[in-house]
Structure 1
Amino acid sequence: MQLIQCTKKLAGEMKIKVQKVDAADFNPLYCWHANLFKIGRKKCVMFMNNATRYHFVIYGVLKKDLQNLHLVFKKNLTTNLLLDGIDPEIIEQYLNQDSIVQFAATNNRSIISQINESIFAVDHYFYHELVEKKQEFIDLAAMNQWLNHQIMLKLSKYPVEMMRDVLEGIKK
């Protein structure tokens, strides 16, 4: 079972009630934290994996996207993993392990603080690209790849390397 642990802000926007669950009952590789934030006037959602801290941003989230967040999540996760060079077979195996998605409340302050730090980095990335470099558009795929090549103190490797190692371990 995939577990998406939503912040209060995200759960409120989705109009769902979430309860705290014991994360020990779930494999952390299949658990994700999600937070809603804004860049300018656009809503965004950041997802971060509990085990590897692999994360990505979905920009310009609409109300219909929030109603089908589990489908939007899987689509964007697949795209980001493919762009990071993960074998499509491994991605399919990971996503098809259990297609049921459950939403719950967040329970790990460490992950929330790392999400907030990454949101801060995304905000600066947008500013740098749009204001300083005077770009008209942001390459979200490049930004998400850049995010997963940032150092996180709790990890021995970059998040993308951690995710690659764990997913390749599943295949064996």
Structure 2
Amino acid sequence: MKLSTNTLKRQNINEVTGMLLLQVTKKLAEQLNIKTSKDQLVDNDLLYSWHAHMFLYKRRKYVLVMNNKSRYNFILGGLVKKDFMKFDELMKNGIRKNLLADGFDTKVVDKYMEQCDSVNYAPTSMRNIISQINDTILITKHMWEADEIQPPDLDKTNRRNNKVPFLQLPESHSLDAMKNGMKNVED
């Protein structure tokens, strides 16, 4: 099989430097003060590709981040302008913190994070993920209203959200799908 020069360049980027692809909605891109274009979409392992969308709850800014492969998700909350200036680090810390909180092995999480030394931004490309993000936000807001805890307990929310069934996943729960995806990282 002959690979094009562009494909080889993309593979080299992924192999040598490791890359986390963060596909952001227009609303989040504006908040981050970045411009995204379809040219920024690269072939990347779906396990290292995430979609992110900003939403408001009681006048506070939150970002829901969802993995493209497993639909594993978490919320970053109570964000202010300075948080968006260091969003790369906030995102990486969020992934790490939530994987560990969900019981993933520290060595596996470290190995996963080693592949995420750079963050590339691109526009969203998968409408089904955007739909699932919107559903998750709706469910989350209803849970927050029912809990009546202000500000919302994000740790509790993030654990609960990954136990909500997704019909398009073979495993039905995003936490189980992420555990299966992370088995490849262990090797």
Q: For each residue in 1:28-47, what CA deviation from the matched residue of structure 2 results, as whole angstroms up to 9, or x when unmatched?
A: 11100000000111000000
Distance 2:70 2:49 in 1: 10
Aligned to 1:92: 110
Aligned equivalent of 2:178, options 149, 163, 166? 163
Is 2:65 the counterpart of 1:47? yes
Report if the CA contact (8 A) 1:33-1:48 is conserved.
yes
| % identical aligned pairs | 35
Quote the offset at 1:165 in angstroms.
1.5
Change beyond 3 A, Cα 1:136–1:44: closer
Q: For each residue in 1:44-93, what CA deviation from the matched residue of structure 2 results, as whole angstroms up to 9, or x when unmatched?
A: 00000000000001110111111111100111111111110000111110
TM-score of the superposed pair, with normalisation by structure 2: 0.86
TM-score of the superposed pair, with normalisation by structure 1: 0.93
Question: What SS does the corresponding residue of 2:176 show, helix, strand or coil?
Answer: helix
Question: What SS does the corresponding residue of 2:137 show, helix, strand or coil?
Answer: helix
| RMSD, aligned CA | 1.4
Quote the offset at 1:98 in angstroms.
3.8
Aligned equivalent of 1:146, options 134, 157, 160? 160
Give runs of ≥4 in structure 1 deviating > 2 Å.
Answer: 21-24, 135-139
- Structure 1: runs of 5 or more not aligned: none
Quote the offset at 1:24 in angstroms.
6.4
Aligned equivalent of 1:116, options 130, 134, 140? 134
Distance 2:119 2:91 in 1: 10
Quote the offset at 1:138 in angstroms.
2.9
Aligned residue pair count? 168
- Structure 2: runs of 5 or more not aligned: 1-18
Distance 2:84 2:116 in 1: 21
Distance 1:79 1:116 in 2: 23
Question: What SS does the corresponding residue of 2:138 show, helix, strand or coil?
Answer: helix
